[in-house]
Structure 1
Amino acid sequence: MVTSAEFLLSASNAGHFPPEGMPEVAFLGRSNVGKSTLLNRLLGQKLAFTSSTPGRTQSVNFFRVEDRMIFVDLPGYGYAKAPKSVSRAWQEVVDAYLLQREKLALCCVLLDSRRGWMETDLQLKEWLEFHQRPYVVVATKVDKLNQKEKNASQKAIREHYPSGEIIWFSGLSGQGVKEIWQTIWKRTVR
């Protein structure tokens, strides 16, 4: 699907964000939810750093895709082995990104399908809705669920997201990659 993608830069504060130009797609979620794995699957190459340790992405990472859009990997929220002052700094840079970027076309909110909505996820959802930022929910790690668990997960996610689009994603099989790309192209190509 992707013929060219490259890492642009890593920004630890808003002053380091690149100038705006192309539409941007942001990837948000709790620490260790699978943001970097999802990005690597979408891009067809290993550009984003993955780790089993929560909190490895500590800055805002920008990737140019097809010379048509920018993917933005944001630091995870929730549990991370970092001092509270560092976590606060991450939150400030994420807030600055989400509030200031006029070219932000879509936010992909990643939820661990085994856990569903957690309090911090719901706070993010409310924040995005309040600030009228378009988003789609991507349920990750779906390969770890059997059909009964997937049905229960879908019901739990729908409780707080009754009519929005849910895309089921597996980093192992690539399930959901096509659907995520379709959603991204719909929101960014005008």
Structure 2
Amino acid sequence: MTPRTENQPQMSVEDFEELERHAPETVWLEFINGKVVVKPMPDGNHSEIVAWLQKYCMQHRPDVWLHAERGLKTERYRKGRARADGVLVPWGALKGHGEWSDTDKALMAVEVTSWDTDAAQRDRVDKPDGYAAAGIPVYVLVDRVDCTVTVFSHPEGGRYRQQVNKPFGAALEIPDPVNITLDTEPLKEFVD
């Protein structure tokens, strides 16, 4: 038997998708950096932040929609599977897609931090790298621990080359192809 190394995935993407299909409804699974990860179920404030972002995007960009909890094919060669808290796409862009969508139409991915111990690594490191490698132009991280919003943009070589971080309450520019200014003042009411 060949010993497993750090760079080998725990299983194939196909095996992961089969496992995920049979997981209980109370568990969301992701496949990040070749490892199965359990994504925590969102609490009320988490869900309200995503709903607020949906409404905000709809008001400022009625030609797009922020889909909540959308499965995306991420990382290099689409070998990862992430369930984004939100993915912004043009209206109708997910038509005909299965549970895991290619990211070619994605304008922005959004994550809202959870309170589990793995959130820091997953949301601040693993997911930005996976989204950048998949070519998603913008990644927005709403960090409830630090009370900040970070906009990652300009993916190149599997990494975002620009990063802007502002505290809750500040105005924050979300660049091309989203092109909106996010007023983060309302996020203060969702801090636990």
> TM-score, length-normalised on structure 2?
0.37
Structure holding more helix per residue: 1
- Structure with the larger RCO, 1 or 2 (CA within 8 Å, 6+ apart): 1
Higher-Rg structure is 2
* TM-score normalized with structure 1 length: 0.37
